[in-house]
């Protein structure tokens, strides 16, 4: 109105008004051209989801002794959104967590609905876990998955929900015109941990494949029209079990490590954010001539090369003593930028999980810890004992080194695929979703007698479930490959809930240890209603499944969907369609094997909850989703809704009562300092221990508990490494289980490419008073030299 009035009231400006309108028309016309050329709007986001680093049982191994007590490196939620300029959009979230949770998904969708209306829903949002076994548990809603964490852990749950929401908000705010590319290649980072079950698949089927695991990585490259490459997401099958069942440090395991390496590599290459003012690499394992990460800060010149001067400098910096802070100031001390710089978004790289059910990263094979001999092939036992058989990673016996190697293999291939990606993604953005009751689903299967209708079963776990795997064996006298069961344990299981004859017959040949699908006290022990989902971006189709498919089960599902998509003759899809499985997505329901693998009843078969026809049920229902994708038809029957059990959750984890230090000492004071005038070489391990407080008092989200600081040429201490670095460990401990006192040990393995100079440790924490107030503190160690 103001423009119309202005131009209409002043005839001398009429020509300028017309000219201005022409400029506006040209601008919007060009904007439409940009969108048409790029075809998509793309946005990426990332946020810290590191849970409580103390007292909480870790999710994955179901080992009651595996209690979190520190941080290896931080966990993230990483998201991408791809949208048509006017039309559909999809959002995919990759969690550095063991798996997705139905309750987490429900609450994230509620928040998105409150913020964006119907823009994001269960239809077009997928939340997937990488399957690390080194993250805090207690965030799922079904009883069987939170028993070892002493029930529901609200702190674990909240930080994941918050982080997912914020990562999606970032991705939404970052939506800009861009292009996507897809590339594939082979990675050698896993072996089949249940080869005897795999061999029960038909020989004619096995002969179609070179390996008994899927070695293909599929990578999406995201490129902003103005800024260039801004991120990548890839899918590759290997378990997050490089870190063992005795590890107590929070870690993203091999996939989280690969993501950290690639995001730091991108910083070095100046992808994404341009103004990164700190050290920019994580692994410290590649030389700079290869173009891989080198730990050289963009603000720190190569100083302190004179060793005598180094010693003089070191001697002048003593431990600071503990100091009170006004708040969680470690956030501003982070080495890496958490948020976008200016208008430009950070590079985001996610290493997603797929059909990893029978794939182990412990690639050296399985051996008996008492004799060193290979384990029994069929049962993975050693002289009949299951608990003595362990897989060995490539860095054996160093699990952190094994994590680095398997992560590095994925990272190296991802960089190669990223650099050579040339196949541009073009086509529609679409999605379909349905809830299915897997406890009683009728499934049509083919047999030698023709087609017949069978049914899935209520959830149940077999005896071999308790045997565990070679990545983390169980206890007592359970063993894999057991389709008979043990009379004693059958009695024990029956005391909890005796399965009906119908259930026993339905689950055969699985001997039922726990009839979880029919156990309802104090609330549901296992899920029955599961989400299935297809996301499509051009020629890339993502099958979102709520479990761990074995290698052959995943192949059958992909082939079935491909047959539907390419078989109708309309030409929308051809043999170049890229179909990937996103495992452990939206909720969790354990494993899915083939019918033939189920008969062997190794761990994966015993953990296939809904009986021998579970895979056929998935294939049947995904074929329906794929058909809907071709016809653009909405599935009017979305199925029964899964329950929201938040109000029924029980938590038995005791709260933090109070933190204290010995008389005369303060939080942040040194308990065991670095020796005075110390000098270390690259490759050495240096550590210092502080008087600390329980990390549960404040998770320091987007902050850090640990820093290695570097003395720059202006005599300022600048952050060099933090607790999101692979080389710096934050270890927390109490002198005794019920003690109010605690220690924080910072342990740094000095990378081979660290700068020579003067360094020190700095610790951040939060303490709780007897009245419940939270106070923040910090402290720094005596300085030391690296030469």
* Alpha carbons 768 and 423: distance in angstroms, whole number: 55
Q: With CA atoms as reference, report the closest residue to 725 among 494, 475, 331, 404.
A: 404
Instruction: For the chain, report the end-to-end CA distance as a whole number of angstroms.
Output: 70
Which residues fall within 8 angstroms of residue 218, CB to CB, at 6 or more apart? 182, 183, 184, 234, 235, 236, 540, 578, 580
Q: Which helix H or strand E contains 763, and what residues bound it?
A: strand 757-768
CA atoms within 13 A on the CB side of 579: 23
* 194 classed as catalytic: no
What interhelical angle do 154-173 and 102-116 show, nearest 10? 40
**Max CA pair span of the chain:** 100
CB 199 within 8 A of CB 151: no
Whether 673 contacts 687, CB under 8 Å: no
Question: Which single residue is written with the structure tokens 């002794």?
Answer: 65
Residues 6+ apart with CB under 8 A from 702: 47, 48, 331, 334, 338
CB-side neighbour CA atoms (13 Å) of 44: 28
Task: State how far the Cα of 571 lies from the Cα of 580, in Å rounded to an integer.
Answer: 20
Bridge partner list, 390:
367
Confirm if 527 and 642 have CB atoms less than 8 A apart: yes
| DSSP code string of 458-502 | S--EEHHHHHEETTEE--TT--SS-SS--HHHHHHHHHHHPPPHH
Helix (H) or strand (E) holding 232: strand 228-235
* Residue written as token pair 């987490």: 104
Q: With H, G, I as helix, E, B as strand and everything else as coil, classify residue 176.
A: strand
| Residue 710 and residue 758 in contact, taking contact as beta carbons nearer than 8 Å | yes
Give the C-alpha separation, 148 to 62, whole Å.
6
Active-site choice (360, 380, 589, 692): 360
Measured in degrees and rounded to the nearest 5, phi and psi for residue 425 equal -85, 130
Given the DSSP bridges, would you call strands 512-514 and 461-462 parallel, antiparallel or unpaired? antiparallel
Catalytic residue set = 360
């Amino acid at each position: 109105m103001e423009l119309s009035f202005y131009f209409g009231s002043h005839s001398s400006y009429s020509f300028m008004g017309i000219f201005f309108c022409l400029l506006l028309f040209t601008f919007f016309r060009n904007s439409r051209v940009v969108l048409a050329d790029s075809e998509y709007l793309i946005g990426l986001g990332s946020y810290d989801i590191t849970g409580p680093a103390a007292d909480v049982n870790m999710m994955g191994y179901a080992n009651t002794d595996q209690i979190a007590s520190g941080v290896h490196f931080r966990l993230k939620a990483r998201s991408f959104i791809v949208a048509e300029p006017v039309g559909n959009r999809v959002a995919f979230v990759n969690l550095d967590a063991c798996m997705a949770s139905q309750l987490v998904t429900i609450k994230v969708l509620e928040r998105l609905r409150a913020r964006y209306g119907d823009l994001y829903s269960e239809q077009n949002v997928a939340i997937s876990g990488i399957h690390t076994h080194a993250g805090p548990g207690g965030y799922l809603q079904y009883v069987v998955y939170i028993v070892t964490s002493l029930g529901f852990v609200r702190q674990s749950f909240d930080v994941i929900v918050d982080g997912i929401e914020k990562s999606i908000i970032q991705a939404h705010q970052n939506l800009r015109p861009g292009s996507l590319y897809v590339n594939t290649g082979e990675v050698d980072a896993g072996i089949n941990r249940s080869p005897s079950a795999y061999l029960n698949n038909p020989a004619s089927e096995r002969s179609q494949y070179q390996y008994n695991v899927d070695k293909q990585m599929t990578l999406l490259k995201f490129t902003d029209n103005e800024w260039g490459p801004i991120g990548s997401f890839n899918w590759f099958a290997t378990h997050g079990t490089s870190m063992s069942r005795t590890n107590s440090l929070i870690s993203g395991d091999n996939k989280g490590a690969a993501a950290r390496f690639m995001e730091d590599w991108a910083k070095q290459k100046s992808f994404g954010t341009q103004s990164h003012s700190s050290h920019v690499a994580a692994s410290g394992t590649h030389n700079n001539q290869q173009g891989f990460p080198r730990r050289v800060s963009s603000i720190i010149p190569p100083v302190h090369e004179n060793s005598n001067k180094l010693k003089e400098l070191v001697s002048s910096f003593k431990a600071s003593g503990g100091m009170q802070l006004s708040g969680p100031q470690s956030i501003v001390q982070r080495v890496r930028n958490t948020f976008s710089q200016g208008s430009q978004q950070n590079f985001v790289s996610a290493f997603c999980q797929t059909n990893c059910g029978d794939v182990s990263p412990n690639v050296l094979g399985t051996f008996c810890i008492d004799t060193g001999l290979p384990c029994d092939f069929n049962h993975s036992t050693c002289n009949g004992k299951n608990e003595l058989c362990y897989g060995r990673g490539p860095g054996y016996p160093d699990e952190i080194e094994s994590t680095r190697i398997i992560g590095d293999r994925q990272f190296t291939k991802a960089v190669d695929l990223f650099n050579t990606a040339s196949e541009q993604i073009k086509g529609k953005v679409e999605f379909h979703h349905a809830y299915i009751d897997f406890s009683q689903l009728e499934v049509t299967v083919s047999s030698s007698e023709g087609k017949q209708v069978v049914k899935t079963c209520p959830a149940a776990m077999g005896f071999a479930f308790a045997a565990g795997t070679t990545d983390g064996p169980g206890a007592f006298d359970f063993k894999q490959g057991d389709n008979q069961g043990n009379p004693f344990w059958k009695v024990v299981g029956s005391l909890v809930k005796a399965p009906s004859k119908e259930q026993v017959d339905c689950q055969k040949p699985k001997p039922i240890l726990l009839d979880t699908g029919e156990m309802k006290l104090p609330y549901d022990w296992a899920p029955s209603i599961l989400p299935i989902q297809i996301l499509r971006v051009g020629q890339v189709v993502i099958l979102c499944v709520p479990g761990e498919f074995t290698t052959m089960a995943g192949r059958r599902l992909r082939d079935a969907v491909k047959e539907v998509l390419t078989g109708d003759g309309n030409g929308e899809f051809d043999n170049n369609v890229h179909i990937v499985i996103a495992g452990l997505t939206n909720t969790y329901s354990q494993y899915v094997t083939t019918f033939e693998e189920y008969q062997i009843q190794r761990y994966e078969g015993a953990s296939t909850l809904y009986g021998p026809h579970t895979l056929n049920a998935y294939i049947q229902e995904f074929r329906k989703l794929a058909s809907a994708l071709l016809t653009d038809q909405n599935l009017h029957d979305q199925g029964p809704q899964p329950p929201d059990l938040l109000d029924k959750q029980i938590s038995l984890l005791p709260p933090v009562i109070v933190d204290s230090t010995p008389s005369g000492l303060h939080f942040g004071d040194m308990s065991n300092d670095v020796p005075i005038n110390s000098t270390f070489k690259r490759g050495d391990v240096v550590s210092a221990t502080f008087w600390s407080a329980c990390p549960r008092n404040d998770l320091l989200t987007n902050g850090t508990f640990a820093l290695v600081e570097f003395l720059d040429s202006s005599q300022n201490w600048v952050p060099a490494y933090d607790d999101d670095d692979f080389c710096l460990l934050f270890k927390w401990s109490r002198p005794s289980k019920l003690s109010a006192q605690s220690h924080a040990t910072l342990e740094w393995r000095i990378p081979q490419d660290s700068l020579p100079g003067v360094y020190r440790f700095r610790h951040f924490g939060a303490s709780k008073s007897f009245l419940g107030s939270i106070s923040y503190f910090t402290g720094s160690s005596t300085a030391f030299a690296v030469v």
